[in-house]
Amino acid sequence: MFPTELFTDPLLISTQECGIRPAVDISGSRIVGGNESEAGAWPWQVSLQVYNHGAGFIHLCGGTLLNNLTVLSAAHCCIGKSRPERWRAVIGLHHLFKHKTYTIKRRIKAIKIHYFYHSKGYDDDIAVFRLSKYVTFNDYVQPACLPNITLALTSDMECFVSGWGMKKEKGKGSLTLQEAQIKIFSLDTCNQYDWHAGTIPDTAFCAGSETGSVDTCQGDSGGPLVCYLSDSKYYVVGITSYGIGCGRPKFPGIYTNLPKYMIWLRRQMSKTNTVTIQQVLCLLVVWNIFQLIV
Closest Cα partner for 31 from 247, 235, 252? 247
124 noted as active-site residue = no
Q: Is residue 76 annotated as part of the catalytic site, yes or no?
A: yes
Quote the CA–CA distance of 182 and 227 in Å, as a whole number.
10
SS3 292: helix
Alpha carbons 94 and 163: distance in angstroms, whole number: 10
Residue spans of alpha helices (H) in the chain: 187-190, 262-273, 277-293
Smallest CA-to-CA distance from 270 within 5, 12, 29 is with: 12
The one catalytic residue in 37, 59, 73, 76 is: 76
Which one-letter amino acid corresponds to residue 47? S
* Residue 153 contacts residue 259 (beta carbons within 8 Å): yes
CA distance 241 to 200: 12
Beta bridge partners of 32: 215
Q: Which one from 73, 162, 209, 221 is the annotated catalytic residue?
A: 221
Beta strand ranges found along the chain (DSSP E): 35-36, 45-52, 56-65, 70-73, 87-91, 104-113, 127-131, 158-163, 178-184, 204-208, 224-228, 234-242, 253-257
Q: Kindly give, in sequence order, each residue whose CB lies less than 8 Å from that of residue 93, ignoring residues fewer than 6 positions away.
A: 45, 47, 99, 103, 177
Residue among 124, 125, 215, 220 flagged as catalytic: 125
Is 25 exposed, middle or buried (CB count within 10 Å of its CB: 0-12, 13-18, 19+)?
Answer: exposed
202 as an active site residue: the answer is no
Residues taking part in catalysis: 76, 125, 221
